[in-house]
Amino acid sequence: MTTEEKQAAMARVKSTVSFADMVDDQDVGVDGDDGDEGHQDQDEEEMLLNDTTRTRVFSVSKDRPITRIPTRVEMKTLTHKAKRPAVDIEFHDLTYAVNTTAGQRTILKGINGFFRSGHLTAIMGPSGAGKSSLMNILAGYVSSDIKGQILTNGHPRNMQLFKKLSSYIMQEDLLQPRLTVIESLSYAARLKIGRELSKEDKKKSSSLNAWKKRIHFVQNRNFFFEGKIFSTCLKTFTIELKFTVNEVLELLGVSVCRNTYVEKLSGGQRKRLSVALELVNNPPVIFLDEPTTGLDIVAIKQCVTLLVDLAKQGRTVVCTIHQPSSSLYHMFDHVYMLARGSCIYNGSPRQLVPFLAQIGHVCKPTYNPADFVFEVLDNDTIVELTKEIQNGKMILCDDLDEMEKNVSTSKLCRNETLIALPPVFDDHKSQIKESDLEYPSSFSTQFSILLERKTKQFIRNKIGLWISFFHHAFSALLIGSIYYGIGLDGSHPFENFKFCISVVVFFVYTHIMGPVLTFPSEVKLLRREYFNRWYSLKSYFFASMITSLPSMLLFGSLFIFIVYFLSAQPIEWIRFTQFMGVGLFTGYISEGLGVLIGSSVNNATGAVMTPALLAPMLALAVYGMGYGLVIEPLMETLMATSFLRYSLVGILTSLFGDGRADLACNKADLYCHYKNPDLLLRDLGMSGRSITNQFIGLTVFGVLFRVAAYYAIKLRMMNQPLRKIPLYFKKFLRG
């Protein structure tokens, strides 16, 4: 496009853009010589404080860069929640490069930006532009392979502390399906608020005190009717949390479905619940990845309106969005556009059209600017726009004074130096205390809440429980019938050996496949809550280790009872207890191995990998059969690496070891070789084994699998190293 064409195009838009104007037309000057930004006129400052949308440009003396004072609003808190600081986020020369099989790839190319508190910022761009990458980096979800600077309120960001103030709502609504909305929120509140609710905050809420008085009254006077209502409340969660939860429910408009199970919610309601869950601790910064994906037009509008409201209350709300409708586009306070990893626009949505016109792309008034900008994007345009906007160093602001006169104009504000707001955490303290990094609630609180939450969902999975019951009962009847009465039979001792293998295999497969198939999706949910600092990994891990125990013990015992007595094993309590102990322990260890596999790979890989792992273990477990005392040391060592060996030896020892009396033989048998159980154990290569050693061996494997599973989950939470292993492997193969 020629210069004349550009000028003509410019003339067609009413607004004018002047890069130079921004310095000359500043409305308020700050005495730059003494460098004291606090010299604003008091009234002016108050006006700024009360105005959430106005962006002012200040000029300072020539030797100082242009400085903009971001307008501040006190963040609206949930009535009795701890007050949170407003947080501005800025980034400079942000580069993100990843290693791919084809070499290094730069995804974000030295971009700059400034996202203000009190603003709803939309990161927009075509598919693959780098929106999610930028969001992940700003939220702290990705922290490696990054160059550049990220600041909060003008100070270098402390990631651990920042995480305490921010919430990241991922694209997928990862929610607990078998909880109601109110339950989900109350668990979130109990986990997330914890220590933060100071006594002072509690006192501030007069309504809260009123509730407390009423409860006191109810408790003392034993007033039945009111007591019934209040005792129900108290059973579910503490009264403080009830207030928070109700407030959030109202705020997000999900009160109507408070008693609906999460799995029954509509897409829009799920999204609002996802936001609500992160809102209970009143975070000043909220990141949302594609919050409108999968929603219908009405739900999208509701969702964005909600985000606008949250931002208006002083929060910094940043979301990625693909291509919003025109009406939606104008709801954002700030638009940050990316194309091929570079910033092509940064500023008010209203200034996009004049900005594009300036380089010769004129958008018709009836056309959606958000569609138009991506339609005109080609290589040259991207380069040109990136240059004009200085890769995000410039912010296009609305000048309200001009707008009030109904003249649409735009200005470019340079964003070189922003007046430093108080550091986010520096409320009269210069050093970060250890308590600043702690989780909101203690380990024991997290553990008990998570255990309660998991158990509740576990019990509500009625179909799963019935299936498990029938699976145990049916398998027990089947195995018991096949090996009916063989326990005392000295003529067919190998039948009993096969019976023992069946029991071991049953416990292994019953308990290993569940976590292999379900844990990959559990890990995703865990990642959201763990990343948003609801609880520590340790408390989650211990709670999930215990949740499945009761059903495992109950159904496992039922299985053992049936098979033990149907197969006519010796009626000796000590043998029965040992048999049951080994069986149940095998199940528990197998579950640990399942968790290890499920937390390391996806369920398709896990489904293939698990039998592939178990087959050699089983082969090693039975290797000694027939070899008796002559198992080679190498094989002995290999056999010791299979936990199934300990299970099998343990079960057989419990039945035949420890000086068991001779077995009964068929009268017709002239010679009954295995009527002496010691001979059987000897020929199976299990002679002289102590049951205690088998329990010790099983315990070692149990601990090993669980510890390995814990670290596998931890690696998954860190979001990097495991993914890089295939790359390293491919590189290694290529030499």
Ligand X SMILES: Nc1ncnc2c1ncn2[C@@H]1O[C@H](COP(=O)(O)OP(=O)(O)OP(=O)(O)O)[C@@H](O)[C@H]1O
Residue ranges in contact with ligand X by CB under 6 A: 98, 100, 105, 107, 125, 127-133, 322
Helices then strands, counting H and E runs in the chain, come out as 29, 17
Q: What's the closest the beta carbon of residue 91 comes to ligand X, in angstroms?
A: 15
Q: Which has the closest alpha carbon to 454: 520, 369, 539, 385?
A: 539
Q: What's the closest the beta carbon of residue 621 comes to ligand X, in angstroms?
A: 41
**3-state DSSP assignment of residue 283:** coil
Q: What's the closest the beta carbon of residue 341 comes to ligand X, in angstroms?
A: 7
Query: How many residues can be counted in the chain?
Result: 735
Q: What's the closest the beta carbon of residue 164 comes to ligand X, in angstroms?
A: 25
Helix (H) or strand (E) holding 282: none
Cα–Cα distance measured from residue 350 to residue 339, given in angstroms and rounded to the nearest whole number: 19
Q: Which has the closest alpha carbon to 643: 591, 599, 577, 683?
A: 591
Cα–Cα distance measured from residue 351 to residue 357, given in angstroms and rounded to the nearest whole number: 10
Asked if residues 284 and 165 have their Cβ atoms less than 8 Å apart, the reply is yes
Q: What's the closest the beta carbon of residue 100 comes to ligand X, in angstroms?
A: 5
CB neighbours of residue 207 within 10 Å: 10
Query: DSSP label at 71?
Result: -
Asked if residues 212 and 563 have their Cβ atoms less than 8 Å apart, the reply is no
Nearer to ligand X, 484 or 728 (CB): 728
* DSSP track, 526-559: HHHHHHTTSS-HHHHHHHHHHHTHHHHHHHHHHH
Q: What are phi and psi of 607, to 5 degrees?
A: -65, -30
Pairing between β-strand 17-18 and β-strand 410-414 as defined by DSSP bridges: parallel
Nearer to ligand X, 209 or 602 (CB): 602
Nearer to ligand X, 136 or 410 (CB): 136
Nearer to ligand X, 38 or 103 (CB): 103
Cα–Cα distance measured from residue 505 to residue 642, given in angstroms and rounded to the nearest whole number: 13
Q: What's the closest the beta carbon of residue 311 comes to ligand X, in angstroms?
A: 21
Query: DSSP label at 712?
Result: H
Nearer to ligand X, 524 or 673 (CB): 524
Q: Which has the closest alpha carbon to 545: 696, 717, 714, 706?
A: 706
Nearer to ligand X, 318 or 622 (CB): 318
Residue 22 C-beta-side C-alpha neighbours within 13 Å: 21
Q: What's the closest the beta carbon of residue 128 comes to ligand X, in angstroms?
A: 4
Q: What's the closest the beta carbon of residue 122 comes to ligand X, in angstroms?
A: 13
Nearer to ligand X, 100 or 232 (CB): 100
Nearer to ligand X, 344 or 397 (CB): 344
Q: What's the closest the beta carbon of residue 339 comes to ligand X, in angstroms?
A: 9
Nearer to ligand X, 130 or 685 (CB): 130
Pairing between β-strand 89-100 and β-strand 103-115 as defined by DSSP bridges: antiparallel
